[in-house]
Amino acid sequence: MKNLMKTSVAAFALTIGANAAAAEGELVLYHWFEYIPQDLLDKFTEETGVEVTMDTYDGNEAMLATLKAGAIGTYDLAVPSDYMVSIMAGEGMLDTIADGELKNKGNIEPEWADPSFDPGRKHSIPYQWGSTAFSVDTAVYSGDINTTDLIFNPPAELSGRINVVDSQGDVLALASLHMGIPQCSTDRDQLKALNEMVQGAKAHWASFNSDTAKEVLVAGDVTVGMIYDGFAAKARSERESLQYAFPTQGYIAWMDSVVLLKDAPNRDNALKFMDFLLEPENIAAVSNFARYNNGVSGSSEFLDQDLVTQPESNPHDAAGTPVFVEVCDEETQAVYDQIWTNLKK
Amino acid sequence: MAAGAASGGSATTDTYKEVRTWLLLPAWVTLAILVLAPVFMMLIYSFLTKEFRGGVIWEFSLAAYDQFFFDRGLFGDDPAKIEWTYILIFWRSIWQAGAATILSLAIGFPTAYFIATRPEKSRALWVFLITIPYWVNLLIRTVSMKFLLRDQGPLNDFLINIGLIDSPIHIVNTNFAVQLGLFYSYLPFMVLPIYAAVERYNFSLSEAAADLYASKATTLRRILLPTVKPGVIAGCILVFVPSMGSFLAPDLLGGAKNFMIGSLIEEQFKGNAGNWPFGAAASMVLMTMVLILLMFYARQQARSEKAGG
Min Cα separation B204/chain A (Å): 49
Mutation site, B74, B85, B152, B269, interface A, largest A CB count within 10 A: B74
Neighboring chain A residues of B53 at a CB cutoff of 8 Å = 64, 68, 87, 91
> Nearest C-alpha of chain B: how many angstroms from A95?
20
Contact flag B54-A339 (C-beta cutoff 8 Å): no
Return the domain boundaries, chain A. Answer: 2-129+256-307, 130-253+315-344
What was the pLDDT predicted at A7? 46
Interface predicted TM-score (ipTM)? 0.81
Put simply, whether B169 touches A (Cβ < 8 Å) is: no
Does A196 score more than 90 pLDDT?
yes
Higher pLDDT, B293 or A267: A267
Per-residue model confidence as pLDDT tens digits over B218-250: 888 888 889 899 999 999 999 998 998 888 888
- Tens of pLDDT, residue by residue over A34-56, are 899 999 999 999 999 999 999 99
- Asked whether the beta carbons of residue B75 and residue A169 sit closer than 8 angstroms, the reply is no
> Residues of A with CB below 8 A from B270's CB?
59, 61-62, 65
CA distance from start to end of chain B: 14
Which residue type, as a one-letter code, is found at position B63?
A
- In chain A, residues 215-274 whose CB comes closer than 8 Å to chain B: 219-221
Contact yes or no for B275 and A219 at CB 8 A: no
| A330/B259 Cβ within 8 A | no
* pLDDT single digits (tens) B75-134: 888 888 899 999 999 999 999 999 999 999 999 999 999 999 999 899 999 999 988 888
Rounded to 5°, the CA angle A301-A304-A306 comes to 120
pLDDT of residue B4: 41
The CATH class for the domain spanning A130-253+315-344 reads alpha beta
At residue A16, the pLDDT reads: 45
The mean pLDDT value for A269-275 works out to 96
> Which one has a higher pLDDT value, B130 or A12?
B130
Please give the Cα distance from B156 to A157 (Å, whole number). Answer: 21
Q: How high is the pLDDT of residue B12? A: 56
Q: Which amino acid is at B262?
A: G
Which chain A residue has its CA at the smallest distance from B54's CA?
A65
Q: Is B168 on the interface with A (CB under 8 A)?
A: no
Q: Which domain holds residue B194?
A: 90-274
Contact B146, B172 (CB under 8 A): yes
CB atoms A330 and B52 under 8 Å = yes
Q: What is the pLDDT of residue A9?
A: 46
- Give the pLDDT mean for A71-77: 93
* Predicted confidence (pLDDT) at residue B36 exceeds the cutoff of 70: yes
Q: What mean pLDDT is predicted for residues B175-200? A: 93
What pLDDT is stored for residue B14 in this prediction? Answer: 67
In a domain, B252, yes or no: yes
Task: Give B13's pLDDT tier (boundaries 50, 70, 90).
Answer: low
Which H helix or E strand runs over B16?
A: none
Cα(A329)–Cα(A106) distance, integer angstroms: 34
Chain B residues whose CB is inside 8 A of the A221 CB are 150-152, 172-173
> Are A221 and B151 in contact (CB < 8 Å)?
yes
Residue-level pLDDT at A145? 96
Size of interface A-B (CB pairs under 8 A): 90
> What pLDDT does A140 receive?
95
Q: CB-CB: which of A167, A192, A345 is closest to B85?
A: A345
* pLDDT recorded at residue A11: 47
Structural domain count, chain B: 1
pLDDT at B257 over 50: yes
In a domain, B295, yes or no: no
Share of chain A above pLDDT 70, in %: 93
pLDDT over 50 at B260, yes or no: yes
Q: In chain A, which residue's Cα lies nearest the Cα of B86?
A: A345
Q: Tell me whether residues A221 and B173 touch, CB distance under 8 A.
A: yes
Highest mean pLDDT pick, A40-49, B9-18, B79-88, B286-295: A40-49
Could you give the CA distance from residue A247 to residue A318 in angstroms, rounded to a whole number? 8
Q: What is the pLDDT of residue B308?
A: 57
Question: Could A344 and B173 be called an inter-chain contact, meaning their C-beta atoms sit closer than 8 Å?
Answer: no
Percent of chain B having pLDDT more than 70? Answer: 94
CATH class of A2-129+256-307: alpha beta
Inspect the interface and report whether the beta carbons of B272 and A61 lie closer than 8 Å.
yes
pLDDT at site A12 = 46
Mean pLDDT of B286-290: 89
At residue A332, does pLDDT exceed 70? yes
pLDDT of residue B51 exceeding 60, the answer is: yes
Q: How many CB atoms lie within 10 A of CB A45?
A: 18
Which residue of chain B has the CA closest to A222?
B151
The identity of residue A194, as a single letter, is L
Residues of chain B found within 8 Å of residue A338, distances taken between Cβ atoms: 74, 76
Residue B17 is assigned to a structural domain of this protein: no
Q: Mean pLDDT, chain B, as a whole number?
A: 87
Q: Which of B150, B171, B257 to mutate to test the interface with A (most CBs of A within 10 A)?
A: B257
User: Looking at residues B195-200, what average pLDDT do you find?
Assistant: 93
Position A6 pLDDT exceeds 60: no
Q: What is the residue-averaged pLDDT of chain A?
A: 90
Q: What is the pLDDT of residue B3?
A: 42
B173 contacts on A by Cβ (under 8 Å): 206-207, 221
Chain A residues near residue B66 by CB distance under 8 angstroms: none
The pTM for the full model equals 0.82
Residue B229 sits at the vertex; the CA angle it makes with B228 and B233, to the nearest 5 degrees, is: 125
Assign 3-class secondary structure to chain A: CHHHHHHHHHHHHHHHHHHHHHCCCEEEEEEECCCCCHHHHHHHHHHHCCEEEEEEECCHHHHHHHHHHHHCCCCCEECCEHHHHHHHHHCCCECCCCCCCCCCHHHECHHHCCCCCCHHHCCEEEEEEEEEEEEEECCCCCCCCCCCHHHHCCCHHHCCCEEECCCHHHHHHHHHHHHCCCCCCCCHHHHHHHHHHHHHHHCCEEEECCCCHHHHHHCCCCCEEEEEHHHHHHHHHHCCCEEEECCCCCEEEEEEEEEEECCCCCHHHHHHHHHHHCCHHHHHHHHHHHCCEECECCCHHHCCHHHHHCHHHCCCCCCCCEEECCCCCHHHHHHHHHHHHHHHC
- Contact by Cβ (8 Å): B50, B66: no
Which residue of B256, B259, B271 is in closest CB contact with A345?
Answer: B259
For testing the chain A interface, which of B53, B86, B143 should be mutated: the one with the most A CBs within 10 Å? Answer: B53
CATH of the domain at B188: 1.10.3720.10
Question: Residue B210 and residue B107: Cα distance in Å, rounded?
Answer: 25
pLDDT for residue A293 is more than 80: yes
Looking at the complex, report in whole angstroms how far the Cα of residue B57 sits from the nearest Cα belonging to chain A.
13
Model pLDDT, residue A39: 95
**pLDDT at position A17:** 44
Say if residue A30's pLDDT is above 70.
yes
The pLDDT value given to residue A94: 96
Q: Average pLDDT of A234-242?
A: 94
Q: Which of B55, B152, B272 sits opposite A337 (nearest CB)?
A: B272
